Amino acid sequence: IPSSKLLVKGGTVVNAHHQQIADVYVEDGVIVAVNPNIRVGDDVTVIDALGKYVMPGGIDPHTHLDMDVGFTATVDDFFSGQAAALAGGTTMHIDFVIPLNGSLTAGFEDYEKKAKKSCMDYGFHMVITKWDETVSKEMELMVKEKGINSFKFFMAYKGIFMINDELLLEGLKKCKSLGALAMVHAENGDAVYEGQEKMIELGITGPEGHALSRPAMLEGEATARAIRLADFVNTPLYVVHVMSIDAMEEIEKARKSGQKVIGEPIASGLGLDESWLWHPDFEIAAKYVMSPPIRKRGHDRALQAALSTGVLQLVGTDHCAFNSTQKARGVDDFRKIPNGVNGIEERMHLVWDIMVESGQITPSDYVRLTSTECARIFNLYPKKGAILPGSDADIIILNPNSSFEISAKSHHSRLDTNVYEGRRGKGKIEVTIAGGRVVWENNELKVTPGTGRYIQMPPFSYLFDGLDKKDAIYLNSLQAPVKRVKAST
Amino acid sequence: IPSSKLLVKGGTVVNAHHQQIADVYVEDGVIVAVNPNIRVGDDVTVIDALGKYVMPGGIDPHTHLDMDVGFTATVDDFFSGQAAALAGGTTMHIDFVIPLNGSLTAGFEDYEKKAKKSCMDYGFHMVITKWDETVSKEMELMVKEKGINSFKFFMAYKGIFMINDELLLEGLKKCKSLGALAMVHAENGDAVYEGQEKMIELGITGPEGHALSRPAMLEGEATARAIRLADFVNTPLYVVHVMSIDAMEEIEKARKSGQKVIGEPIASGLGLDESWLWHPDFEIAAKYVMSPPIRKRGHDRALQAALSTGVLQLVGTDHCAFNSTQKARGVDDFRKIPNGVNGIEERMHLVWDIMVESGQITPSDYVRLTSTECARIFNLYPKKGAILPGSDADIIILNPNSSFEISAKSHHSRLDTNVYEGRRGKGKIEVTIAGGRVVWENNELKVTPGTGRYIQMPPFSYLFDGLDKKDAIYLNSLQAPVKRVKAST
Amino acid sequence: IPSSKLLVKGGTVVNAHHQQIADVYVEDGVIVAVNPNIRVGDDVTVIDALGKYVMPGGIDPHTHLDMDVGFTATVDDFFSGQAAALAGGTTMHIDFVIPLNGSLTAGFEDYEKKAKKSCMDYGFHMVITKWDETVSKEMELMVKEKGINSFKFFMAYKGIFMINDELLLEGLKKCKSLGALAMVHAENGDAVYEGQEKMIELGITGPEGHALSRPAMLEGEATARAIRLADFVNTPLYVVHVMSIDAMEEIEKARKSGQKVIGEPIASGLGLDESWLWHPDFEIAAKYVMSPPIRKRGHDRALQAALSTGVLQLVGTDHCAFNSTQKARGVDDFRKIPNGVNGIEERMHLVWDIMVESGQITPSDYVRLTSTECARIFNLYPKKGAILPGSDADIIILNPNSSFEISAKSHHSRLDTNVYEGRRGKGKIEVTIAGGRVVWENNELKVTPGTGRYIQMPPFSYLFDGLDKKDAIYLNSLQAPVKRVKAST
Amino acid sequence: IPSSKLLVKGGTVVNAHHQQIADVYVEDGVIVAVNPNIRVGDDVTVIDALGKYVMPGGIDPHTHLDMDVGFTATVDDFFSGQAAALAGGTTMHIDFVIPLNGSLTAGFEDYEKKAKKSCMDYGFHMVITKWDETVSKEMELMVKEKGINSFKFFMAYKGIFMINDELLLEGLKKCKSLGALAMVHAENGDAVYEGQEKMIELGITGPEGHALSRPAMLEGEATARAIRLADFVNTPLYVVHVMSIDAMEEIEKARKSGQKVIGEPIASGLGLDESWLWHPDFEIAAKYVMSPPIRKRGHDRALQAALSTGVLQLVGTDHCAFNSTQKARGVDDFRKIPNGVNGIEERMHLVWDIMVESGQITPSDYVRLTSTECARIFNLYPKKGAILPGSDADIIILNPNSSFEISAKSHHSRLDTNVYEGRRGKGKIEVTIAGGRVVWENNELKVTPGTGRYIQMPPFSYLFDGLDKKDAIYLNSLQAPVKRVKAST
Ligand SMILES: [Zn+2]
Ligand SMILES: [Zn+2]
Ligand SMILES: [Zn+2]
Ligand SMILES: [Zn+2]
Ligand SMILES: [Zn+2]
Ligand SMILES: [Zn+2]
Ligand SMILES: [Zn+2]
Ligand SMILES: [Zn+2]
C-alpha cells in the first residue's frame, strides 16, 4: 500500500503567480505545506525534485471521451483517455455531455455511467442543441444540482448540432441568469455547408477538401458574431478551439474593449499545420481531419504569440480519437471522415516545448495556461490549479533537461495513430501525482478504474465579477424612458 | 421654348479627377465641350458661373419614393421627390423596387408605373426577400433585359424582409454570376428583435427605445458577416446606410485586405446624432426614427473622416419620407413608427458644408463622393458623374460664398417636417441643369412630369475587374484534388 | 509600546492571484500566517476587518521627494511625503536619484542623506543625463552594490535632462547587461521646444500654453521611438507617466508583438483632464502643470480601460509637489512654472474609486495594479506586494462602504493646494500597517522619522526571463556570416 | 524628318479616371484629341494600337543620375539613364540635386549642367543637409525661381547627410511656408550606426550584414517620427522608398487619421526580397545593397497590397546604379559597398506584371500609380500624367499579350549587372512616345541628347488644399490665450 503521505523535495515550485524553490508536503490527497526544507518522518514517501519543476497537474478543458457519434464512438473511454492524460501530466479534464434524445438529464446520466471507470478527476460541460421550456429548466437543474457551470453551443454542423442566432441569444440569457459560462464552437455552418458542396463539385473529395471547405474567415465570422451577441446580452463567453488568426483577432478586439471573452487554442492548433491534409496517403491525411480545421502555417505561430501576450488564456486539446478504420469511412468523401485528433496525453509536453523552450513564456505562464486559468474559469481555484496549502495534490514534476518523443507505439491512448508521430522536444514530465497518488513514475502508469472523482463546478466564477455593476451602469446610461409632454393623444 | 443650347461660362469646372477654370457647352442634353473661352452664337443661353463651382449633378444611390409599407406609403412620389432632389442639386437617383407578391417582374412593372411621372433620370435596384428557382431566373431577367445591376438583401426586419445566411449565400452567388452588385441592409435581425422585446419590458416605448433596441454592435456584426460571406463567394459587396463606427471599421478592414466592399454613409448619419430621439416632444423625436438608427455623437465625425480617407466611397440619403400623422402610429410603441428620414433635397448642401467647408475634402473629392463614384459603381460613368464631352448635361452651379438654410416651410418635398429644420451652412446650389434643361434657378423650380428617363445600368462594373483573375489564382492555389496512392480500397 | 504582534481578523484578504476570507497574523514586521480563524494569545493586538478588504500596502513607483530643481525644491521631503503616503494606504515608494554634478555616486549619497528621516520603506531609481565611461561604471556600481535596478532617461527637457538616441542606445545596452530596467520620460524634446516657441509667439503665455505646446502626438512619438530602440537592443522598457492614448497605443502594439514593455499611468492621468489648465484663475490653473501634460477628456477613460485590459500594468503618481508661491514663478510665462502635481496620498483611494467602483476591475486587479506588479517589476515580490506568510507586514484595510474626501485642508502633504480638491469617492482606507506597525488608524497618523528602511532591489527581475533565449534564437536566425566563395581578391 | 503629327489608333486609352477605346491625335508634342475614329490626313504618322493599352508615359519620382558619392559616381548619367527609362516606358523622372559645398544654388547649377545631355523631360528635388539662414533663403529661391517644389531630408547616413529632429522641424516649417513638399529618407541613423558596429563585432562583414544592421523596425521608427513631426507642423510629407511593413503601417495610420502623407514604394521593394544578400557570390549579393535594405519575403507582398488599397500612392525606383567594380569596394566591409540598385528601365514592366497581371489592380490603377499620381503630387497634372487634350504627348503602348525579359545583356543602362537578371513577365511596352516623338519602337531606341526639357514644378500642389482651413480651425480650437482675472501681480 502506497503511503498517503508524500514529500516532493527540493524542486522549483511553480504557481501562476510565483515560483520558488521549496518542498511540497502532501497528506491524504491534499497539499499541506509548501516551504523550503520541510522535515518529515519515515512514513513519508519522498520524491526528489532537485533541479526540476514542481507544478500543478494539467487540466484539459476540452475532451470527448467515449462520445457516440451515431455510426461509431471515440476510441478512448474515461479510463483509457484518462490514463493517457495522467501519463502526460494532466490530472483533470472537463468533458462535454451530449443530451440524449434531447434530454439534458438523460445525457447527464449517460455520462455519469460512462465516467464510472474514471481514474482521475473530471468535470462536465453540457451541450445545448435545441430550445424549449424543458431545456431551459434542465439547464437550471444542471447548474443548481449537478455541478455544471458551462454550456456549449455549436454554430456549425448544420442539421445536427447547429443552432441559430435566435437560440444562441436565448442560451446566452439563460447562462447569464444562472452564472454559467456560455461556450461556442464558432464556424458559420451555412457557409461551411456551401463550401463543402463547392469542393465536391470541384472534385475535391479528399481530406484537403475538408480544410478548403471551411476557411478561417468562416471561423472569424462566427467568432465575431458570438462575441457581439454575448456583448449584447452582457455575459461572458468562452470560444472553444480557436484555430485561426481570424478568430483570435476578434477575441483580441473584444478583450481590448473590456469584454469578458476567453479564447481556448488547442494543442493541434499550436503545434501543427494544414499541410498534412494534403498528404498523398489517405490514412495519414485523414487523421488530421478535425473542425475547425488545422490551419495554414502562420496561424500556429500567431496563436502561440496570442497565448504569450494574454490574448488567449488557456490550452485545451479537443481530444476526440478515432482509429484509422473509423476515419476510412470518408475515403471517398471528406464529409464522412469522423472529425477529431488526439492530444490529451501530449498537450503538457507540447506546450512546454513550443512555448517555454522557445522563450515565449515563463514556467509561471505555463502553469497559468495549462492549469490555473482553467481552474479559475470553471471556479475550482485554488482547490485545483495551484500548489498551495489546501489545494488538491495534483502535481507534476517536469525535468527541463530531459526530453520526450511521441509515438503511437508508446502512447497510452487506445488510438492506433498519433498526429504528433515522431515528434521530439525538450522537457519531460517524469512524475504525475493525482489526488495524492503517484500515478506516473519511471515511465510507468499505476492507475485504478474508479479512483477518479466527479468535480462539481459552482456557478458565478470570477468572470461574473462586476457584471451586475456593468448592468446597472448600462441601465442608468439609457436615460429612458423619456417623459413626453404629449402623451398618446 | 427654352434653348437646347447652353453655355456655362467662367466657372471652376470640377471633376473627380481634376478641376480647372473652363466653360461648358451643352447641346441637346449632352455636354459637347469643356474648354476655357468657348465662343458661341446668340442662340445659346449663357449662364454665368464666375467664381462658382460647376460640377456634375448629384446622384443619390438610395431612395424610397412612393414606397408602400402596407399600412401606408412614403409621402414623396417620383414627381415630388425628384423635384425636391433637383432643387437640391441632385439630378439622378436609384430607387429600390420591392417585389410584388414575391414576383420581381411584377414589382418592376409596379415601379415602372410609379416612375411615369418622373422629372429627372432614375435607375432601379431590386430587393430580394425569398429564394427559389423563379427568383433566381427573374434576377437574370432583370439584369439582362431590364437594366438592373444590383440586388439588395435585408439582414434585419425579422419576419418581413429578413433573409438568413443560406439565402444570402445563394444571392451572392447569383449576383456574381450575373455581374450584379449585392447590397445589404446590415443589422442582426434576431438580436434587434430581442432588443426590442427588452426595451418594451423595461417600459421604454418611446422613440429612444428604437435606438436602444438596435445598438451599433448589431450593425457591426451583420456588416462583418455579410463582408465575409461575400469574400467567401468572392463577389463585390455594397453596404447601404453605414451608420456606425462598428460597421465602418469592418468595411475598412475588408478593404485593407483588398476585398471589394463599398460603404455608403447617408446624409443623416453624417450630419445628425441620436440625441433627437430623446426629445420630449414625440412628434420631433419620431421624425428621426430610421434603421439602422442615427447614432451617438462621435459616429458622425468618424463617418466623415472615413469618407475623407476613402474608407467609405459615396453618400446616399435613404430618403424615405413619412408625415407626422404617419409617424404618430407608434406613439405608444416605437416598433410601430414607420422608419425613415428625408434627405434627397438636402444631401448635396450638407455634404458640401460638413465636408468641404471644414477642410476635410476638396471640391474634387466632393464630386467623387456625391456623383462620380456612384456612376462608376453602377456602371454609368462617364455618361453620368462627369463634366466631359459626351456626358449627360446634368450640371450644378454652386456658389461657395452664398449660404443655405433648411426648413420644412421652404423645402420642396411633400413632407410636413424636416430632420434638418433650421440648419444653415455655407455653399449654395444656385443652378441645376438636368438633361440639358435648367430646372432650378433663382430659387425657382421648372419641372415637368414625364421628362425623367429610366437609365438602364449594365452589369459588370469596374468592381468586377480582375475578379476572374482572382478566382483563377484561388483555384490554382488549392493544389487539389490530391492524387492519392491508395484509392478507395 | 505597541505590540509587535497583530491579528487582522475576519476581512477579505486580497492578493493579486486570489481573494479569500481569512485572518492575517503578523509578528515582528512580517506576516506569519494567513488562514481563516487564527487563534492568538492576549499579547496580540487584534484589528477587526469584518466586511472589509485586507490588502497589501500600496507601492508608488514614481515620486520626487525633496527634489532640487535649481531655483527651488519640492515641498514634500522624505518625512512629510511618506507620512502623506501612509495616510493614503501607500507603504513603500521608489524615488528618483538625480546625479550631483554629473556623479551618480554623489547623487546617491545625497539621497541617502535626504532619506534619513524616512518613516516608511523606500527604494531608488537613478536618472542618467550624460554618457561617458564613468557613468557606465557607476551604473554597474549602483546595481551591484547599492541596490538600484532601474535607470531613467529623459527624452524631453531640452538642454537640461534630455538625452539623444545615441545616448539612449548606450544606456539601453548597459541596462541590459546589468539586468537593470530602463525607464523613459517619453516626449520629443525638440518638438516640445518648438511648440513652446510657437505658443509664446501666439501670445499664449498662461498654463494652457503648457498643454498646447506639447500635444499627445509628441508623447506618442517618443514612446514609439524608445520602444523600438529597446526592441533593437532587446531589453525591457518601462515608460513612466503614460498620459495619452497615443503613448498607450504604442505600448499596446509592442506588447502585442511580445516585447517586454511596461506602461505606468499615474493618478492624475487617470482622474483629471486638461480643462483645469484653462481656468481663469492662474493659481488654480498652474497647479495642474506637469509634463507630459494632463490630457483632454477621453484620454483618462482610455487609460483606465488600458489598465483594466492589461495594456498598462501599474499606477504611479509622479508626486512632485510645489506650492502656489513656487508655481507663481511662471505667472507670465508657462515655461517657468515648476512642473508637478501631488498624488502620493490620493492614489490608492482614487484608483479604487475610479476603477473598482465602476466595475472596471476586481479587488484582485486593484492589488495587482497598486502593489503586486510594482513589486514584481522591481524584484521585491513576494516580500512586498503580497499578503502571504513571509511577506513584509505592509497591509491596508479598506472599507468599501465608507467614503473619502480630498482637500488641502485635511491632507498630510505639506502642499498648500491639492489637484483633487473637493473630490469625494467610495472606499476608505481605514487602517495602514507598515512594517508591522499600525501607522494610520481612526484618521490619525503615528509615524516616526527614521523608521523607514532602504529596500535594495536586485537586478534581473522576471522581465528578464527568457531574454537570453531570445537573444540566442536571434543570433541563430541570422544565418550569418555567409561563407563566400570569392574571398577578397 | 519624322512627322510632328501622330495618330495612335484603335487602342484602349487608359487614364487614371477612366478607360475607353479611342484614337489619340498628337501635334507638335501635345495631345490634341482623344476620340474614337479620328480621321487624319496623309501627313500624319499612324501607329496601330489595336488590342493594346495606350497610357501616359511613366514618371519616375526617384532617381539618382550622375550622382557623385565622393569616391565615385553612379554609372548612369542623364543621357544613358534616360535612354534606359524611355526603353522601359518612362518619359519623365525627377532627380535629387545634392548641394555643392553646402550651397543649394551651386548644387542646382551643377545639376543643370549634368542634365544638358537629357533626352527626356525631367524635374528636380533638392536635398537639405544643414540649416542656417542661407539655406532657408536658398530654399525660397529654388521654389520661386528655379521650379523646385520638394525638399528631401535624410534621417540616416550619420555624419554625412543625416539631420536631427531640430533641423527637420525647421525644414518642415519652411517647406510649409513655401508650399513645397517635404520628403524623408526614413531610418534611425543612430541605431543604424549601432547596428553596423554590432554586425562587424559579430564578424558579419558581408552584404547580409547590411540588411541585418538596419532592420525594418528602424525604418518604421523614423517614418513614425517624421510623420508626427509633419503633423505637428501641419504640412504634407512624402516618404521615399517605403521598403517595409513597419513603415507602411505608420503611413496607413497617419492617412487614416486624415494626415497628408504620401508613401513611395520602389520597384525593388515590390519585386525582390533580401535573400539575395545572403548569396555566396559577393558580386551577386553586393548588387542588392541599398538603403533601406530590401526586406524579407512578406514585405514585398504587403507593399503590393498597400499599393492596391491606396495606402501607398505611387511607385519609384531609387535608380542609383553602381558597377560591380564599384560595389567591390566593400568586399571586406559591407559599410563600404556603394548603396543602390537599378530600376528606371524596369519599373513599368515590373509594376504591370506584379500588380495588374495578378489581378491586384486595374489598368487605370496602373496609370495612377506609375504616372498620374506623381504628376498630381508634383503639380504637373494634367500636362503630365494624362492622355487628355492639352497634355504633353508622353505616351506608351503596352501589349498585354506580349512578354518581357530583363537582362544586363539587353538593357539600356550602362550598368554591368541587373538586379532583375533573367526575370520574365507578361505585358510589353512596344512603343514609347516622348514629347510627341516616337523614341522606342520595334525594340529600337531613337534618342537625341539635348531634347529633354527641364520641367518646372510649381508649389502648392493639391496636397496643400484645405491646409489653411485646418490651420484656422486649429487656432480657433485653442481657446487661448485665456484671459486671467489675476494678472501678474
Ligand atoms: Zn468543436
Ligand atoms: Zn470539441
Ligand atoms: Zn435599410
Ligand atoms: Zn433604404
Ligand atoms: Zn517625467
Ligand atoms: Zn517624474
Ligand atoms: Zn534614400
Ligand atoms: Zn534615393
Q: How many CB atoms lie within 10 A of CB D262?
A: 22
Nearest Cα of chain D lies from the Cα of C208 at a distance, in angstroms, of: 7
Q: Using the beta-carbon criterion (under 8 Å), do D360 and B258 form an inter-chain contact?
A: yes
Asked if residue C126 lies in contact with residue C150, where contact means CB atoms within 8 angstroms, the answer is yes
Looking at residue B485, its pLDDT comes to: 77
Number of H helices, E strands in chain A: 16, 16
User: Which ligand has its closest atom nearest to the C-alpha of A156?
Assistant: 1
* CA-based nearest residue in chain D for residue B462: D362
Asked if residue D299 lies in contact with residue D245, where contact means CB atoms within 8 angstroms, the answer is yes
- Going from the Cα of B63 to the center of ligand 4, the distance in angstroms, rounded, reads 6
Return the ∠ at Cα A77 (arms to A71 and A82), rounded to 5°.
Answer: 150
Looking at residue B486, its pLDDT comes to: 58
Task: Tell the burial category of C174 from Cβ atoms under 10 Å away from its Cβ (0-12, 13-18, 19+).
Answer: buried
- Going from the Cα of C267 to the center of ligand 6, the distance in angstroms, rounded, reads 12
Chain C touching partners, 3 or more CB pairs below 8 A: A, D
Residue type, A186: A
What's the predicted TM-score (pTM) here? 0.95
Nearest Cα of chain C lies from the Cα of A268 at a distance, in angstroms, of: 22
Residues of C in contact with D484 (CB under 8 A): 206, 280-282, 285
Task: Tell the burial category of B132 from Cβ atoms under 10 Å away from its Cβ (0-12, 13-18, 19+).
Answer: exposed
Nearest to B465 among D255, D309, D362 (CB): D362
Residue type, A279: H
pLDDT one-digit tens code per residue, D430-473: 999 999 999 999 999 999 999 999 999 999 999 999 899 889 99
Chain B touching partners, 3 or more CB pairs below 8 A: A, D
pLDDT tens track, chain A, 489 positions:
556 899 999 999 999 999 999 999 999 999 999 999 999 999 999 999 999 999 999 999 999 999 999 999 999 999 999 999 999 999 999 999 999 999 999 999 999 999 999 999 999 999 999 999 999 999 999 999 999 999 999 999 999 999 999 999 999 999 999 999 999 999 999 999 999 999 999 999 999 999 999 999 999 999 999 999 999 999 999 999 999 999 999 999 999 999 999 999 999 999 999 999 999 999 999 999 999 999 999 999 999 999 999 999 999 999 999 999 999 999 999 999 999 999 999 999 999 999 999 989 999 999 999 999 999 999 999 999 999 999 999 999 999 999 999 999 999 999 999 999 999 999 999 999 999 999 999 999 999 999 999 999 999 999 999 899 889 999 999 999 999 975 444
Asked if residue C282 lies in contact with residue C331, where contact means CB atoms within 8 angstroms, the answer is yes
Show the cell assigned to D425: 513577365
Show the cell assigned to B276: 433627437
Residues of C in contact with D203 (CB under 8 A): 481
pLDDT one-digit tens code per residue, D54-69: 999 999 999 999 999 9
DSSP one-letter code for C278: G
Residue D75, φ and ψ in degrees, nearest 5: -80, -25
Q: How many CB atoms lie within 10 A of CB D274?
A: 20
pLDDT one-digit tens code per residue, B375-432: 999 999 999 999 999 999 999 999 999 999 999 999 999 999 999 999 999 999 999 9
Task: Tell the burial category of D69 from Cβ atoms under 10 Å away from its Cβ (0-12, 13-18, 19+).
Answer: middle
Q: Using the beta-carbon criterion (under 8 Å), do D310 and B310 form an inter-chain contact?
A: yes
Q: Using the beta-carbon criterion (under 8 Å), do B309 and D256 form an inter-chain contact?
A: yes
* CA-based nearest residue in chain B for residue A188: B165
Q: Using the beta-carbon criterion (under 8 Å), do C359 and A257 form an inter-chain contact?
A: no
Task: Tell the burial category of B410 from Cβ atoms under 10 Å away from its Cβ (0-12, 13-18, 19+).
Answer: exposed
C-alpha to C-alpha distance for B312 and D268, rounded to whole angstroms: 32
* CA-based nearest residue in chain C for residue D296: C478
Q: Using the beta-carbon criterion (under 8 Å), do C257 and A305 form an inter-chain contact?
A: yes
Residues of B in contact with D358 (CB under 8 A): 469, 473
3-class DSSP string for C73-142:
ECCCCCCHHHHHHHHCCEEEEEEEECCECCEHHHHHHHHHHHHHHCCCEEEEEEEECCCCHHHHHHHHHH
String of DSSP letters for D194-260: HHHHHHHHTT--SHHHHHHHS-HHHHHHHHHHHHHHHHHHT--EEE----SHHHHHHHHHHHHTT--
Q: Using the beta-carbon criterion (under 8 Å), do D209 and C283 form an inter-chain contact?
A: no
C-alpha to C-alpha distance for A306 and A270, rounded to whole angstroms: 10
Residues of B in contact with A478 (CB under 8 A): 202, 204, 208, 212
DSSP one-letter code for B369: I
Measure Cα distances from D276 to B350, D203, D282, D290, D334 in Å. Answer: 55, 19, 10, 12, 14
Q: How many CB atoms lie within 10 A of CB C130?
A: 11
pLDDT one-digit tens code per residue, D71-101: 999 999 999 999 999 999 999 999 999 999 9
Residues of C in contact with A15 (CB under 8 A): 17
Q: Around D39, how many Cα atoms within 13 Å sit in the side-chain half-sphere?
A: 0
C-alpha to C-alpha distance for A13 and A387, rounded to whole angstroms: 8
Measure Cα distances from B33 to B22, B39, B390, D360 in Å. Answer: 10, 11, 8, 35
Nearest to D483 among C194, C280, C485 (CB): C280
Residues of C in contact with D206 (CB under 8 A): 480-482, 484
C-alpha to C-alpha distance for D191 and D197, rounded to whole angstroms: 10
- Going from the Cα of C246 to the center of ligand 4, the distance in angstroms, rounded, reads 38
Show the cell assigned to A352: 512546454
- Going from the Cα of A239 to the center of ligand 2, the distance in angstroms, rounded, reads 11
Q: Rounded mean pLDDT of chain C?
A: 96
Residues of C in contact with D282 (CB under 8 A): 484, 486
Looking at residue D2, its pLDDT comes to: 58
Residues of D in contact with B310 (CB under 8 A): 310
C-alpha to C-alpha distance for D124 and B285, rounded to whole angstroms: 60
Residues 6+ apart with CB under 8 A from D159: none
Q: In which band, very low, low, confident or very high, does the pLDDT at C158 lie, cut at 50, 70 and 90?
A: very high
pLDDT one-digit tens code per residue, A369-382: 999 999 999 999 99
User: Which ligand has its closest atom nearest to the C-alpha of D318?
Assistant: 8
E strand segments, B36-175: 45-48, 53-56, 58-63, 90-97, 121-128, 150-154
pLDDT one-digit tens code per residue, C377-430: 999 999 999 999 999 999 999 999 999 999 999 999 999 999 999 999 999 999
C-alpha to C-alpha distance for B314 and B311, rounded to whole angstroms: 10
Looking at residue C448, its pLDDT comes to: 95
User: Which ligand has its closest atom nearest to the C-alpha of A317?
Assistant: 2
> Could you give the 3-state DSSP secondary structure of residue B242?
coil
pLDDT one-digit tens code per residue, C322-340: 999 999 999 999 999 999 9
Q: Using the beta-carbon criterion (under 8 Å), do D360 and B473 form an inter-chain contact?
A: no
Nearest Cα of chain D lies from the Cα of C187 at a distance, in angstroms, of: 11
**Beta pairing class for A437-441 and C45-48:** unpaired
C-alpha to C-alpha distance for A249 and A251, rounded to whole angstroms: 5
Show the cell assigned to C30: 512580517
Nearest Cα of chain C lies from the Cα of D269 at a distance, in angstroms, of: 21
- Going from the Cα of C61 to the center of ligand 6, the distance in angstroms, rounded, reads 10
Nearest Cα of chain A lies from the Cα of B221 at a distance, in angstroms, of: 6
Closest to A270 in 3D by CA, of A313, A303, A233, A230: A303
DSSP one-letter code for B266: B
C-alpha to C-alpha distance for D222 and D232, rounded to whole angstroms: 15
String of DSSP letters for B378-421: TT-TTTSS--STTSB--EEEEEEEEEEE--TTT-SSS-S--TTT
Q: Using the beta-carbon criterion (under 8 Å), do A208 and B486 form an inter-chain contact?
A: no
* CA-based nearest residue in chain C for residue A355: C466
Looking at residue D3, its pLDDT comes to: 65
Nearest Cα of chain A lies from the Cα of C241 at a distance, in angstroms, of: 21
Number of CB pairs, chain B paired with chain D, less than 8 A apart = 59
Q: Using the beta-carbon criterion (under 8 Å), do B204 and A480 form an inter-chain contact?
A: yes
* CA-based nearest residue in chain B for residue A489: B331
* CA-based nearest residue in chain C for residue D224: C221
Q: How many CB atoms lie within 10 A of CB D157?
A: 17
- Going from the Cα of B65 to the center of ligand 4, the distance in angstroms, rounded, reads 10
Q: Using the beta-carbon criterion (under 8 Å), do B362 and D16 form an inter-chain contact?
A: no
DSSP one-letter code for A355: I
- Residues of A in CB contact (< 8 Å) with C are 15-18, 252, 255-258, 305, 308-311, 357-362, 364, 381-382, 462, 465-467, 469-470, 473
Show the cell assigned to C259: 516585447
pLDDT one-digit tens code per residue, D384-441: 999 999 999 999 999 999 999 999 999 999 999 999 999 999 999 999 999 999 999 9
Nearest to A466 among C16, C256, C359 (CB): C359
Q: How many CB atoms lie within 10 A of CB C401?
A: 9
User: Which ligand has its closest atom nearest to the C-alpha of B64?
Assistant: 4
ipTM above 0.90, yes or no: yes
> What's the gap between Cα A397 and its chain centre?
21
C-alpha to C-alpha distance for A227 and A222, rounded to whole angstroms: 8
Query: Has residue B292 got a pLDDT over 70?
Result: yes
Show the cell assigned to A75: 476510441
Looking at residue C485, its pLDDT comes to: 77
Q: Using the beta-carbon criterion (under 8 Å), do A217 and B231 form an inter-chain contact?
A: yes
Rounded-to-5 percentages of helix, strand, coil across chain D: 35, 25, 40
- Going from the Cα of C432 to the center of ligand 6, the distance in angstroms, rounded, reads 25
Nearest Cα of chain C lies from the Cα of D333 at a distance, in angstroms, of: 10
> Could you give the 3-state DSSP secondary structure of residue B5?
strand
Asked if residue D386 lies in contact with residue D375, where contact means CB atoms within 8 angstroms, the answer is yes
Looking at residue B322, its pLDDT comes to: 98
- Going from the Cα of C436 to the center of ligand 1, the distance in angstroms, rounded, reads 53
Residues of D in contact with C488 (CB under 8 A): 331-332
Q: Rounding to the nearest 10 degrees, give the CA dihedral for residues B139, B140, B146, B151.
A: 40
